[in-house]
Amino acid sequence: EDGDVKVEEGKLKIWGTAKTQYEKNLLWDAIKEAGGENPSDIMADIKVADESVYARHTVESGESLSKIAKHYYKDPMKYNAIFQANRNILNNPDMIHPGQELVIPKL
């Protein structure tokens, strides 16, 4: 969002705003993949638009909270954190439906 990439003085400069911390992490992963763990020829300034959450997720068919927790946290047992953050739309952690927009909280 509202970002740009350009080359200045032989360095790749990247800046902009990611929607969530999760998206910022994905951008940093791509930067590291392109330039190594500590690339000296890449400068990045990436801000987060919504710092109140880690990510936002739209439920797809066949998903469960534990599957979603494994995707974002690498731990399916953290599903309850997602359930608690979405009590306004979820009554049961085993009952989610395609199309629901879930908040993925920071841990």
Instruction: For the chain, give the secondary structure using H, E and C.
Output: CCCEEEEECCEEEEEEEECCHHHHHHHHHHHHHHHCCCCCCEEEEEEECCCCCCEEEECCCCCCHHHHHHHHHCCHHHHHHHHHHCCCCCCCCCCCCCCCEEEECCC
Specify the number of domains making up the chain.
Answer: 2
Indicate whether 63 and 40 sit together in one domain: no
22 token code pair: 């999760």
Q: What is the pLDDT of residue 30?
A: 86
Give pLDDT, residue 37: 65
Tens place of pLDDT per residue across the chain (107 aa): 678 888 888 888 889 999 999 999 998 888 888 776 666 788 889 999 988 899 999 999 999 999 999 999 999 999 999 999 999 999 999 999 999 999 999 99
Last residue of a domain, one of 32, 48, 64: 48
- The full length of the chain comes to 107
> 94 and 70, same structural domain?
yes
Look up the domain containing 85 and give its range.
Answer: 55-104
Q: Are residues 90 and 59 in the same domain?
A: yes
Residue owning tokens 């608690």: 84
Predicted local distance difference test score (pLDDT) of residue 18: 92
pLDDT of amino acid 65:
98
CATH number of the domain that residue 87 is part of: 3.10.350.10
Judge if 100 and 59 occupy the same domain: yes
Residue 41 and residue 15 in one domain: yes
Let me know whether 60 and 100 are in one domain.
yes
pLDDT at 79: 98
